[in-house]
Amino acid sequence: MSHVGARPVPVDVRHDGNIDPDRIAAAVTRRTRAIVPVHLFGHLADMEAILDVASRFGLPVVEDAAQAHGAERLGRRAGSFGTLSAFSFYPTKNLGALGDGGAVCTSDAMLAAAVRSLRNYGSATKNRHDVLGHNSRLDDLQAAFLSVKLPGLDAANDSRRNLAGRYHDVFSALPGFACPGPGDNSMVWHQFVLRSDARDSLQARLALEGVGTAIHYPVAPFDQPCYAASYDSAQFPIASELASTVISLPMADYLTELEICHVLQAGIRAASQGWLGLIRKYPNRVACDRPVCGFPLLEEFVIPFG
Ligand SMILES: Cc1ncc(COP(=O)(O)O)c(C=O)c1O
């Protein structure tokens, strides 16, 4: 946005990190050109409400679907709601290449032609440059990797949903966390993000147990140095709160049972009070038959936490 000379106008989010549609109308002025919702963490933004506001003001919607490949609501997938949508194929994304890549989607033929030209030095015809463009073509090798991986996207998202369900069962029963989920097909769990007032000590504690976590994101865009003095962070209290409380657990379609159990047990230990009730409630969900968490019975389960 900034690179084309537009001014991003942030709108505060809901606690799931997605834009709050109820706040969009107040941010619209006669200079507004588009609404750009991000489907953060792989969760579809409230597109019905956003499209409603957009049609009220006659504005196009440009979806940032970089984290939401395959997320679906009422038969429509992320990237198919807006006039334009953008996907990232950065390696860690739900559909990731082995290097950088991305795609723009649209059903509008004129916009498609414009984007094709922009990615190729602003050239639709060889040696003729109608507009200033970029070198932003998808590399052939990356396209080939993506073609191989694309048919597995839904299965990979199912694995992520399954893992999110297991995290939800455990962490929603523990004290000290606000836990997302359990979720439906509108969520493809690019990240599984807990909230905790003791986020930093929780992260340190999990690190001691060998569980890597990440903070998405410690500094909100309106607080970044490149936008210094452009925004008043007091206008975005929820986004600011999220920046200091979120913590992302390991999330991928390839985590092993052993690794998943290890994360669950480390989380239970971190939240030490509360574990007994949890084990009573979910003896079979927390336990599994592998060595790292092979404590299927309550009595046996007590041992590592005593
Ligand atoms: C929500 C979101 N938007 C945009 C991007 C940028 O994607 P890329 O790095 O492929 O340009 C990312 C990548 O991390 C992202 O997560």
List the chain domain ranges: 2-151, 153-305
pLDDT at 299: 32
- The string over 149-165, giving b where at least 16 C-beta atoms fall within 10 Å of a residue's C-beta and e elsewhere, is beeebeebbebbbebbe
- Is 60 a pocket residue for ligand 1 (Cβ < 6 Å)? no
- The string over 260-281, giving b where at least 16 C-beta atoms fall within 10 Å of a residue's C-beta and e elsewhere, is bbbbbbbbbebbeeebeebbee
Q: Do 109 and 115 form a contact (C-beta atoms < 8 A)?
A: no
- In this predicted structure, the answer to whether residue 179 has a pLDDT above a threshold of 70 is yes
- Is 63 a pocket residue for ligand 1 (Cβ < 6 Å)? no
Fold for domain 153-305? Answer: Aspartate Aminotransferase, domain 1 (3.90.1150)
Q: What is the mean pLDDT of residues 130-136?
A: 95
- In this predicted structure, the answer to whether residue 273 has a pLDDT above a threshold of 60 is no
- In this predicted structure, the answer to whether residue 239 has a pLDDT above a threshold of 80 is yes
Rounded to an integer, what distance in angstroms lies between the CA atom of residue 301 and that of residue 306? Answer: 9
Q: How far is CA 11 from CA 35, 38, 93, 169, in A?
A: 10, 11, 25, 32
26-61 residue pLDDT tens: 999 999 999 999 999 999 999 999 999 999 999 999
Rounded to an integer, what distance in angstroms lies between the CA atom of residue 14 and that of residue 260? Answer: 28
Q: What residue type is 170 in one-letter code?
A: V
First to last CA, the chain: 54
H or E element that contains 260: helix 257-270
Q: CA angle, 177 as apex, 175 and 181 as ends, to 5°?
A: 115
pLDDT at 281: 52
CATH assignment of 2-151? 3.40.640.10
- Is 46 a pocket residue for ligand 1 (Cβ < 6 Å)? no
pLDDT at 174: 82
Q: CA angle, 27 as apex, 22 and 32 as ends, to 5°?
A: 125
Rounded to an integer, what distance in angstroms lies between the CA atom of residue 42 and that of residue 286? Answer: 25
Q: What is the DSSP string of 194-249?
A: EE-TTHHHHHHHHHHTT---B-S-SS-GGGSGGGTTT--GGG-HHHHHHHHHEEEE
| pLDDT higher at 279 or 89 | 89
- In this predicted structure, the answer to whether residue 158 has a pLDDT above a threshold of 60 is yes
Q: Which of 36, 67, 136 to mutate to test the pocket of ligand 1 (most atoms within 8 A of CB)?
A: 67
- Check residue 185 and report its DSSP letter: T
Tell the residue number behind the tokens 């993000």, with chain if given.
Answer: 193
Q: What is the mean pLDDT of residues 105-116?
A: 98
The beta strands (E) that lie in the chain are given as 62-64, 72-73, 76-77, 84-88, 102-105, 192-195, 246-249
pLDDT at 272: 65
3-state secondary structure of 271: coil
- In this predicted structure, the answer to whether residue 185 has a pLDDT above a threshold of 70 is yes
Q: Which of 63, 69, 87, 90 to mutate to test the pocket of ligand 1 (most atoms within 8 A of CB)?
A: 90
Q: What is the mean pLDDT of residues 206-232?
A: 94
As given in the structure block, the two tokens for residue 212 are: 């890597």
- In this predicted structure, the answer to whether residue 10 has a pLDDT above a threshold of 60 is yes
- Is 221 a pocket residue for ligand 1 (Cβ < 6 Å)? no
Report the chain's mean pLDDT, rounded to a whole number.
Answer: 89
Rounded to an integer, what distance in angstroms lies between the CA atom of residue 263 and that of residue 209? Answer: 9
